[in-house]
Amino acid sequence: MYRSHTCGELRIENVNEIVKLCGWVQRIRLMGGMTFVDLRDRYGITQLVFNIAKNKDLCEMTQFLGREFVIQVEGKVIERSSKNPDLPTGDIEMDVETLNILNPSEVPPFTIKDETDGGEELRMKYRYLDLRRTPLQKALELRHKMSQETRKYLNEKHFLDIETPFLIRSTPEGARDFVVPSRAGEGKFYALPQSPQLFKQLLMVAGYDKYYQIVRCFRDEDLRADRQPEFTQIDCEMSFVEQEDILQTFEGLAKHLFKTVRNIEFEKPFLRMSYAEAMEFYGSDKPDLRFDMRFTNITDLVKGKNFKVFDESEYIGAICVKNISEYSRKQIDELTEWVKRPQIGAKGLVYVKFSPNTSGIKSSVDKFYSADELKIWAEKCNAQEQDTLLILCGEKEKTLVALGELRLEMAKRLGLRDSKTFFPLWVLDFPLLEWDAENQRFQAKHHPFTSPHKEDFSLLDSNPAEVRANAYDLVINGTEIGGGSIRIHNSELQKKMFNVLGFSQEEAEKQFGFLLNAFKFGAPPHGGIAFGFDRWTAIFNESESIRDVMAFPKNNAGRDMMLDTPAPISQQQINELHIRCV
């Protein structure tokens, strides 16, 4: 037996026991006739004591130890004279009697500590070393717990965990597929699934009315902090349900995870908000509601005063920022330059400061508006003394989005986006379709299998842009955690949807004939949802990037720095696959 206990297990009640420990050398300290070694495994750290007065040869062996050596020790647990309250094992130490070096180590390229000196690229190249650090160990433990609690909740609700294929047919909608050449089918390719969408709908046709899978998915798309080419979904589908059934079931899952993983209890139902309301008041379909700063439309209030910028704008919107009336002109100018960046796209920024001192109201449009008029703006925006209005104008849709970015930036600068605070909400009634200007056709906002609201069916022929999807997203702290919809289960409605999306009958049959045929054999009403498991774990872990909660992630360019992939393959493999690299 290599070890009797882990390095995080021993306590004061183990004093005088003879134990065995194994682990990695974290730190060595020479203190005269004593040598102290911190021994680490994923459970914690135990201090080892080598006493030259008791065993000179053993103490001299420690001279050959280095950081990250793998060792086995046996000895007696004793009470520490100088206790460490920051360690769970800080009341005890081991008086070492035998030392066995299981494997030496080269000096690691960065320190294996919570606050390491290694840059991200270096740590990703040596990911197996980075994974020894406590923050990553805690993140993967949290990920494991979330997986277990998800399965526990869904199993108790009688969902079945069913696997679906990884080698499927490429589909034309959504992000780019990763394709896999087939050795057996010359010039033919599989695709890796962007989601199990079609298969879970077929499972509903097959009568498996509650399905789930914690599944790997693949998308060949541009990367961000919350995206990876391969990622994990909690994928779910249910039969004989309407939207309310889905929301109740999976709000229950969210509350279960909050309670069991973060010990946070939500007694009230999650807030619900329409897509139209989210865009009108927050400029985002995933608003962060940990703070206020809701938009106020002041267009009608401010036009007609000979201020050309406002008079020529389709929309003028304001956000009320609390307690920043003492912002300096330099700070306001800097903020103005920030909103004029190409990523934001505003032409400028108008401000109105309501100061409590003798200076009163200050504004960048004093020439055009009196103090009384500015007070009316304040009343409409619920602004008080010490508050400031920040105002953008222009084309409505672009201005709302720019205001949304400004709102988030102000919250960041004011420290209002606390990672320990959580505000979940449902966003409902998305547009079913969005116009693709480049290809001059409609495309699905979510995917082509999303059902319209029943009352909007007729608009598919007369006004497709106004059709609302029977769809819903779960948003936490401004991040979309999951999304889903009630599906189309009628083959005629599905054909109409393909027609609106510009598919010919032949194209629809070629790509999705198996689904349309399945719908002819008694498809039940069904709907589902998929959650970004990596994103959800990152939020619970208070991480900014999903890379922090994945064991072996890719970098921002989609490369695995440790394996140095993607990489070339041999000419023999290329020939066997009947492909040519050009």
pLDDT at 53 over 90: no
The whole-angstrom separation of Cα 206 and Cα 210 is 11
Q: Out of 33-42, 418-427, 507-516, which region has the weakest mean confidence (pLDDT)?
A: 507-516
Cβ neighbour number for residue 513 with a 10 Å cutoff? 11
pLDDT in the model for residue 44? 96
- Give me the phi and psi of 495, to 5 degrees please: -60, -40
Q: Which residues of 221-243 are buried (b: 16+ CB within 10 A; e: fewer)?
A: eeeeebbbbbbbbbbbbbbebeb
Q: What are phi and psi of 213, to 5 degrees?
A: -160, 130
Confidence of residue 174 (pLDDT cuts 50, 70, 90): low
Task: Write the CB contacts of 176 (distance below 8 Å, at least 6 apart in sequence).
Answer: 219, 220, 221
The Cα–Cα gap between 563 and 294 comes to 47
Bond preceding residue 342 cis, omega within 30 of 0: no
Q: Is the dihedral of CA 97, 101, 106, 111 positive or negative?
A: negative
Chain-centre distance for alpha carbon 562: 23
Matching fold, domains 12-103 and 291-413: no
Contact between 418 and 291 (Cβ < 8 Å): no
Asked if residues 539 and 479 have their Cβ atoms less than 8 Å apart, the reply is yes
Is residue 194 very low, low, confident or very high in pLDDT (cuts 50, 70, 90)?
Answer: very high
How many contiguous H segments (helices) and E segments (strands) does the chain have? Answer: 17, 22
Q: How many CB atoms lie within 10 A of CB 515?
A: 20
pLDDT band at 217 (very low <50, low <70, confident <90, very high): very high
The arithmetic mean of pLDDT across residues 279-297, rounded, is 97
Please state which CATH class domain 138-272+424-549 belongs to: alpha beta
**Is residue 226 scored above 90 in pLDDT?**
no
Look at the domain 291-413 and name its fold. Gyrase A; domain 2 (3.30.1360)
In our burial notation (b when 16+ CB lie closer than 10 A, e otherwise), range 334-354 reads ebbebbeeeebbbeebbbbbb
Residue 486 has pLDDT above 90, yes or no: yes
More confident residue, 503 or 468: 468
40, 55 in Cβ contact below 8 A? no
Structure tokens at 182: 């087939």
Contact between 450 and 487 under an 8 Å Cβ cutoff? The reply is yes
The tens digit of pLDDT for each residue in 154-169 reads 999 999 999 999 999 9
pLDDT at position 517 over 80: yes
What span, in angstroms and rounded, lies between the C-alpha atoms of 529 and 59? 60
- DSSP 8-state assignment for residue 94: E
What mean pLDDT do residues 550-562 have?
93
- Interval 347-372 mean pLDDT: 86
Query: How does pLDDT run across 389-432, given as a tens digit for each residue?
Result: 999 999 999 999 999 999 999 999 999 999 999 999 999 999 99
Q: Where are the beta strands (DSSP E) in 171-295?
A: 179-181, 189-191, 210-218, 230-239, 271-274
The answer to whether 234 touches 161, Cβ cutoff 8 Å, is no
Give bridge partners of residue 79 from the DSSP assignment: 92
Sign of the Cα pseudo-torsion (143, 148, 153, 154, in order): positive
Kindly report the CATH class assigned to 12-103. mainly beta
Is residue 358 scored above 60 in pLDDT?
Answer: no
Residue 496's pLDDT is 87
Q: How far apart are CA 97 and CA 186, in angstroms?
A: 66
Q: In the chain, where are the structural domains located? A: 12-103, 138-272+424-549, 291-413
Region of poorest pLDDT, from 76-85, 364-373, 454-463: 454-463
Strand partners of residue 235: 213, 530
Q: How do residues 299-342 score in pLDDT, each as one tens digit?
A: 999 999 989 999 999 999 999 999 888 888 899 999 999 999 99
In sequence order, the β-bridge partners of residue 214 are 234
Q: Do residues 64 and 105 lie in contact, with contact meaning Cβ atoms separated by under 8 Å?
A: no
Q: What is the pTM of this model?
A: 0.92
The two three-digit tokens of residue 271, written as one number:
């807030």
Can you give the pLDDT at residue 172? 62
Asked if 545 and 111 touch (Cβ cutoff 8 Å), the reply is no
